[in-house]
């Protein structure tokens, strides 16, 4: 999902290398011709062997996972099952040990929800009149939430909708929210709030908890026009996607919510009518990342909704490489990537398959390429490594949340999580973004390894996008496990930045995130090599990575 991605070029000797095609699902038999590069890299890393990541074998895996046959890998879909079957076949061939509950699989029970819009309506009520809202133009029910069939409620605007005790900051303080619906600007925080803290409190888990404690029964979130990746024109198409929640309600971050509605910022003035405020005023403050006002709105919400609700099962995939140190092998590093994507949806330019090549065929393929590398080079580490392909990320980090609650290895044995989600090798690699760089030893190690590769490591340049909590590492962070997520980075106001921004605007969560898009294989290969070395370093480290003493996230540490 969020952006994130590598270099080593000192090749000593090169030889052509042909890998015998592995058993794949019937229709897919990738044959990979690889150029193995033995590099000087081995000098800076603590594992024996060679780095052989040129991006090509990685891309071949992406092509399989993002093939139209996989139908966009929606959680619980037949397409995702086919993609997972392909991964399992590869793992068997690569002789990584199964470490799920059912061989390589860890089933996850979910609930799927979809708004039946023909039987549903949203309206604003003011001055004795009802003003219907259009699902296309104004606002829609988010399928992520369990909506109550009928909600008539007063509205209170609560700015960013954040409650951050550490900073003595609260948008909710003094607000009369009892039995009311909170209206908030979604995505971001005032500039005084550090990125990770902002990210943490923007997460649904914290946000809804604070609103619920304040008495709110629901929320209407207006997308922050200054941090929106996806324009409304595409969001409104994505709204018909099935939403999901954990079958185990204790894991549902939005349990008890009665109304969850997304609002188009372009039409948000409808909410502010008669309040003495305009959305322009709010938007200008938000752009400057200032505190936002809090005030009751003059309009009320009238919501009627009918939802189709179905039980659903999907699976994580878990494989293990045992460590070789009698003591350290009891601990493990979880290397993760989500395998699910959005499936089949509203067509754009006649294409209805949301292939998810970058999001997150790219991360999933990298893990597969690591498995290939292990088979070919037989590297061993002191600690064990868990390779985890996660389901339900797009639906709200559901698979990783489940794994973190029900790990298939002892919870206390998990010492680190390295996650990769949509690392975007679409520009040359000079900078790598490390989400969580200042939070733990792992962040520091990531920066160190990047430096060895001649690549600059930077912190999240856009903290208002909340990337630190927007992918699966967050489920581990909340369990106290030091984690990083990494991707290809760039400097602000550069052509590279423009390329990334355009990608987000046009291809992110769109059918055009497919294998026909431009990709930089050199960057992909370098990024893989960098992550491999971070994994190797961590897995061979006698030291267990710790949270930094000043890190906000240290509080979740179990020891």
Q: Which residues bind Zn ion (CB under 5 A)?
A: 1, 359, 394
Cα–Cα distance measured from residue 538 to residue 8, given in angstroms and rounded to the nearest whole number: 19
Mention every residue, 6+ apart, whose C-beta is less than 8 A from residue 138.
122, 263, 264, 267, 270
Nearer to Zn ion, 245 or 529 (CB): 245
Do residues 358 and 421 touch, judged by C-beta distance below 8 A?
A: no
Min. distance of Cβ 186 from Zn ion in angstroms? 17
Taking the least distance from each CB to Zn ion, the nearer of 163 and 394 is 394
CB 154 within 8 A of CB 300: yes
| Nearest residue to Zn ion, by Cβ distance, number only | 1
Select 229 or 252, whichever has its Cβ closest to Zn ion: 229
| Closer by beta carbon to Zn ion, 171 or else 359 | 359
Which lies closer to Zn ion via its Cβ, residue 138 or residue 229?
A: 229
Q: How far is the CB of 422 from Zn ion (least distance, A)?
A: 7
CA distances (Å), origin 510, targets 23, 103, 316 = 31, 33, 24
CB of 255 to Zn ion, least distance (A): 23
Q: Which is nearer to Zn ion, 1 or 271 (CB)?
A: 1
Sheet-wide strand order for 295-304? 129-132, 121-126, 295-304, 150-157, 181-186, 218-223, 259-263, 139-141
Q: Which is nearer to Zn ion, 1 or 485 (CB)?
A: 1
Q: Which CB sits closer to Zn ion, 2 or 195?
A: 2
Whole-number Å distance between alpha carbons of 156 and 171: 11
Which token pair is 436? 């969580």
Structure tokens at 162: 């954040």
Query: Cβ of residue 1: shortest distance to Zn ion, in angstroms?
Result: 4
Q: Whose Cβ is closer to Zn ion: residue 76's or residue 379's? A: 76
As a whole number of angstroms, the distance between CA 160 and CA 187 comes to 8
Minimum CB–partner distance for residue 472 and Zn ion (Å): 11
Location of structure tokens 């389901």: 391
CA distance 526 to 423: 12
The residue among 56 and 512 lying less far from Zn ion, judged by its C-beta, is 512
Minimum CB distance to Zn ion, residue 125 (Å): 35
448 contacts 1 by C-beta, under 8 angstroms: no
Please report how close the Cβ of residue 363 comes to Zn ion at its closest, in angstroms.
11
In this complex, which beta carbon is closest to Zn ion, that of residue 160 or of residue 354? 354
- Report yes or no: 75 and 108 within 8 Å, Cβ to Cβ: no
Is the separation of the CB atoms in 255 and 249 below 8 Å? Answer: yes
- Determine the length of the chain: 559
- What whole-number distance in Å separates Cα of residue 315 and Cα of residue 337? 13
* Helix boundaries (H) for 378-479: 398-405, 441-452, 473-477
Residue 301 near residue 151, CB atoms below 8 Å: yes
CB of 331 to Zn ion, least distance (A): 30
Taking the least distance from each CB to Zn ion, the nearer of 359 and 459 is 359
Q: How far is the CB of 395 from Zn ion (least distance, A)?
A: 10
What whole-number distance in Å separates Cα of residue 554 and Cα of residue 531?
24
The CA dihedral of 274, 279, 282, 283, to the nearest 10 degrees, is 180
Decide whether 164 or 422 has the Cβ nearer to Zn ion: 422
**Among 50, 62, 54, 49, CA closest to 33:** 54
Quote the tokens at residue 526.
């370098």
Nearest distance from C-beta of residue 74 to Zn ion, angstroms: 12
Residue 258 CB, nearest distance to Zn ion (Å)?
Answer: 27
- Where would I find the beta strands (DSSP E) of 11-137? 11-18, 33-39, 97-98, 105-115, 121-126, 129-132
Structural tokens at position 491:
């400097």
CB of 340 to Zn ion, least distance (A): 9
Whether 235 and 223 have beta carbons less than 8 Å apart is answered as yes
CA-based radius of gyration for the chain: 23
> Which of residues 1 and 257 has its CB atom nearest to Zn ion in the complex?
1
Minimum distance of Zn ion from residue 511's CB (angstroms): 13
Q: How far is the CB of 421 from Zn ion (least distance, A)?
A: 7
Contact 460, 227 (CB under 8 A): no
């Amino acid at each position: 999902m969020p952006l994130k991605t590598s270099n080593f070029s000192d090749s000593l000797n090169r030889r052509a290398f042909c890998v015998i095609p592995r058993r794949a699902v019937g229709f897919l038999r990738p044959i990979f011709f690889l150029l193995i590069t033995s590099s000087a890299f081995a000098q800076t890393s603590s594992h024996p062997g060679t780095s052989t990541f040129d991006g090509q074998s990685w891309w071949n895996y992406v092509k399989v996972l993002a093939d139209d046959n996989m139908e966009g890998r929606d959680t619980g879909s037949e397409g995702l099952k086919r993609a997972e079957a392909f991964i399992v076949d590869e793992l068997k061939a690569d002789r990584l040990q199964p470490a799920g509950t059912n061989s390589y699989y860890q089933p996850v029970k979910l609930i799927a929800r979809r708004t039946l819009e023909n039987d549903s309506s949203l309206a604003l009520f003011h001055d004795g009149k009802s003003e219907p809202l259009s699902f296309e133009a104004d606002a829609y029910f988010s399928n992520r939430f369990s909506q109550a069939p009928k909600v008539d409620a007063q509205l209170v605007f609560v700015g960013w909708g954040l409650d951050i005790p550490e900073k003595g900051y609260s948008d909710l303080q003094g607000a009369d929210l009892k039995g009311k619906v909170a209206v908030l600007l979604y995505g971001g925080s005032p500039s005084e709030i550090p990125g990770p803290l902002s990210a943490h409190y923007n997460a649904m888990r914290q946000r809804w908890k604070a609103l619920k404690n304040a008495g709110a029964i629901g929320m209407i979130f207006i997308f922050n026009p200054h941090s929106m990746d996806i324009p409304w024109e595409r969001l409104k198409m994505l709204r018909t996607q099935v939403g999901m929640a954990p079958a185990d309600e204790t894991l549902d971050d939005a349990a008890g919510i009665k109304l969850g509605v997304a609002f188009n910022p372009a039409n948000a003035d409808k909410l502010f009518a008669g309040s003495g405020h305009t959305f322009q005023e709010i938007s200008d403050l938000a752009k400057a990342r200032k505190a936002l006002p809090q005030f009751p709105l003059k309009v009320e919400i009238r919501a009627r909704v009918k939802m189709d609700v179905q039980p659903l099962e999907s699976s994580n995939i878990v494989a293990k490489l045992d460590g070789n140190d009698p003591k350290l092998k009891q601990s493990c590093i979880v290397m993760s990537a989500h395998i699910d994507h959005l499936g089949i949806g509203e067509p754009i330019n006649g294409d209805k398959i949301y292939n998810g090549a970058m999001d997150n065929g790219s991360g999933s393929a990298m893990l597969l390429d690591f498995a290939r590398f292990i088979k070919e080079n037989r590297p061993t580490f002191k600690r064990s490594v868990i390779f985890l392909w996660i389901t339900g990320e797009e639906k709200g980090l559901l698979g990783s949340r489940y794994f973190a609650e029900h790990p298939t290895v002892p919870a206390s044995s998990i010492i680190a999580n390295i996650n990769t989600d949509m690392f975007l090798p679409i520009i040359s690699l000079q900078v790598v973004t490390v989400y969580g760089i200042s939070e733990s030893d792992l962040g520091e190690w990531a920066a160190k390894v990047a430096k060895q590769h001649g690549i600059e490591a930077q912190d999240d340049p856009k903290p208002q996008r909340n990337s630190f909590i927007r992918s699966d590492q967050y489920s581990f962070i909340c369990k106290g496990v030091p984690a990083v997520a990494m991707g290809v980075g760039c400097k602000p106001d550069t052509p590279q930045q423009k390329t990334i921004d355009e990608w987000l605007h046009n291809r992110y969560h769109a059918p055009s995130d497919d294998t026909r898009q431009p990709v930089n294989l050199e960057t992909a290969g370098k990024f893989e090599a960098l992550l491999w070395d971070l994994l190797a370093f961590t897995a061979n480290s006698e030291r267990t990575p710790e949270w930094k003493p000043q890190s906000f996230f240290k509080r979740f540490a179990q020891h």
